[in-house]
Chain A
C-alpha cells in the first residue's frame, strides 16, 4: 500500500468509526425514547387525570395527585427562582460587570449548576424539614428553587449583555435613571432571551427527582396543603416503577411519558422563541 492509499484507508476507517458511534448512540437513545412512547401511550387514559392514587389492583387509580403536586412544586419553585435569578443576573450584567466580585459570583453559580441535586435535597432537609418536623411542599419547592436560581442567573446575565450598549446610552441621554433604563430598555431588548432561559430553567427543574425524595417526599393522595408532604410526578414515578405491581408500573410509565412531553415541549418552545427573534432581526 502506498502512503497515499494508506492515508485514505485510515481516513475511511476513522470516518466509519465515527459514523458507527453516532449510529450506536442514536440506537440506544431511540430505544429508550421508543420504550417511553410505547409504554407511555399504552398506559395513558382519562382515568389518569381523574383519579388519584389507589392501592394496586384498583381500576380507579390515576395520577391526578401527582400532576397537581408537580405543578404546585414547580410553580412555587419558579416563583422563587425566576425573580431572584433575573435580579441577580441583572446585577452581574448592569452593575457588577467585569468586577472581581461579579466574576466570582458567575463562577460559583456555574459550579452550582452542575452540583449534585441530591446534596441540595439534603441541605434543604436540614434547614427546612428538621425544624418543621415533617416533609412539606415548601421544602420541595425551596430545593427546586435553589437549583433554578443559577440557571436563570446565567442566562439573564448572558442575554442582558447582548443588548447593545448604545441603546442604554441613548436612554441615559434622554435623562432616564438607571433603573428605568434597565426596566424599560434593557429588559425589553432581552425579553425573548430571558423568556427562553426561564422555560429551560423550568424544564430542567421539572425533571428533578433526587432533591424531592426527602423534602416534599411523596403522598398517594390528592393534597393542596403546602405544609404537608406533596406528591410529585418524578417521585411517584420512582416509587411506582420500583414496586412489584404491574398496574403501578404502568402508571409510572404514564407519568414518565407526560413529564417528558412537558419537558420536551418547553425545550422546543424555548428554541422556537429564540429562533423567531433571530429571524426578526
Chain B
C-alpha cells in the first residue's frame, strides 16, 4: 500500500516537470495570441516598437539579442578555449586545482553583479575610449562575454579532460610537441563535447537578462553601429513588463518571451542532443 503510494508520489513529481514545461508554452502562446493576430509575421520582421500608437515589432529586440550574443561568443570563445587548454594541459597541478575551482566559483556569481560592474566601471572606460555613450551593443557584448567566460571555460575544460591519457602519451611518444598533441589529439577527440559546451554557453548568453540590462540602453532601434544603444528581448521584458498599459502591449511582451523561449530551447536542444550526446557516445 505505502509502496504504491510512494511510487505514485515520485511519479507525479516527475511528471510535474513535463507538465510545467508544457504549461509554460501554452500560457505564453495564449497570452501572445492577440499580438500574433494583430501583427502576424510583421511582429517578427518589423522594428517599429511604439507603445503610444500600439505598434509593436520585435525585430530590433531579436536583432539585439542575436547581435549581442554573437559578439559575446566572438570575444569569449578564443579566450575560453585558451583558458581550457591552460587548465587541462599547461598549468602545474597545484595551480590547476586552485585556478579551476576559482573559475567554477566565479561562474556562480550572480549575473546582476556583472551588470553593476559593467555600468559603474566598464562603461565609463568604454565611453572615454570610443567617445560615444558607452552603453550599447559593444558594452553589452563585452559584459556578456565576461559573464559567460567562467562557465564556458569550465565546461570546455571538462570536455577536453575526457581525452584518454593513453592517446596523449602515444602522441608524445611519437615526438609531438604540446601544441601538436592539443591540436591533433585532444581537439579532434573532444570536438563534439567542446562544440556542445560552447553552444550551451550560447544558450545561457541569449537568455541572460541582468548582465546586459544595465549596459544596453533599451532603445528600440536596430543599431547603426556597434556603439549604438539598442535592446534585446530580455532587456525589453525587464524594463517594460511592469509598464505595459494596453492589452496589446502586454500581449506583445508575451510574444517576445515566447520568441526568446523558443530560440533558447532550440539552441540548448541542439547542444545537448546533437553534440553532447555524440560526445558521450564516442
Which A residues fall within an 8 A CB radius of B? 7-8, 10-11, 13-15, 17-22, 24-26, 28-29, 31-33, 35-36, 83-85, 87-88, 90-92, 94-96, 102, 104-105, 107-112, 114-123, 125-127, 146, 149-150, 153, 177-179, 182, 203-204, 206-210, 213-214, 217, 234, 237-238, 241-242, 249, 252-253, 256, 259-260, 263-264, 267-268, 271
- Residues from chain A with Cβ under 8 Å of B62 in the complex: none
Contact across chains for A125 and B241 when beta carbons are under 8 A apart? yes
The reply to whether the CB of B124 lies closer than 8 angstroms to some CB of chain A is no
Q: Known A32-B117, A91-B10, A122-B241; judge A11-B264 contact (CB<8 A).
A: no
Contact between B210 and A238, CB atoms less than 8 A apart: yes
Do residues A32 and B150 form an inter-chain contact, with CB atoms below 8 A?
Answer: no
Q: Which 3 pairs, one residue from A and one from B, show the smallest C-beta to C-beta distance?
A: A116-B207, A21-B82, A207-B110
Q: For residue A21, which residues in chain B have a CB less than 8 angstroms away from its CB?
A: 78-79, 81-83, 86
- Find out whether the CB atom of A122 lies under 8 angstroms from the CB atom of B110: no
Tell me whether B112 and A114 are in contact (CB under 8 A).
no
A19 to B106, CA, bound (A): 19
**Chain B minimum-CB-distance residue to A257:** B113
Assess the A29–B241 pair: CB atoms within 8 A.
no
A84 contacts across to B, CB distance below 8 A? 13, 16
Known: A122-B253, A182-B6. A260 touches B178 (CB 8 A): no
A33 to B87, CA, bound (A): 20
Within 8 A of A (CB), among B111-125: 111-117, 119-121
B interface residues, tally (CB under 8 Å): 90
Closest CB in chain B relative to A197 CB, distance in Å:
14
| Chain A CB within 8 A of B133 CB | no
Q: Are A213's CB and B242's CB within 8 A?
A: yes
8 Å CB contacts to A: which residues of B145-159?
146, 149-150, 153
Contacts of B200 in A (CB 8 A): 114
Q: Evaluate contact between A108 and B17: CB separation under 8 angstroms.
A: yes
